[in-house]
Amino acid sequence: MTVTIYHNPACGTSRNTLEIIRHAGIEPIVIEYLKTPPSKPELAKMIADAGLSVRQAIREKGTPYEDLGLANPALSDDQLLDAMIATPILINRPLVVTEIGTRLCRPSDLVLDILPSDGFTSAFVKEDGEAVLDAEGNRIV
């Protein structure tokens, strides 16, 4: 299975998502989107495929969101996408694309929805100690 993660190594949620993918035995294509942002059409497709609005895909915390006036409801999706491409830190992360689907993996365990269910056979615990999978690889709800 091909898995692509738009990753920020400085983000704990992104690191946890990457490790869950690897725990499934999959080595994903890792795109550090701050260095190599997606094109505007690629970003628009990922957002739509994830079932999100463009506003839901914008990261506000720790970004110049307010300074750029992006809270203005009069801004179009096209204008917001332009801002996200020009300033990639505005792209919420991590976005993960698989053959099963596309998700904004916040929280990181949402990646389980788009990975093969039979790929897990052991426990997984996030960096902060939160258990995601039990000893048999079953999702902990």
Is 105 one of the annotated active-site residues of the chain? no
Please give the Cα distance from 109 to 4 (Å, whole number). Answer: 16
Do 8 and 102 touch, CB atoms closer than 8 A? no
Among 11, 84, 114, 133, the active-site one is: 11
Structure tokens at 100: 């099963």
**Which residue has 């993996």 as its token pair?**
105
Nearest to 19 by CA among 141, 125, 95, 110: 125
DSSP run (H or E) holding 12: helix 12-23
Q: How many residues appear in the chain?
A: 141
Q: Annotated catalytic sites, by residue?
A: 11
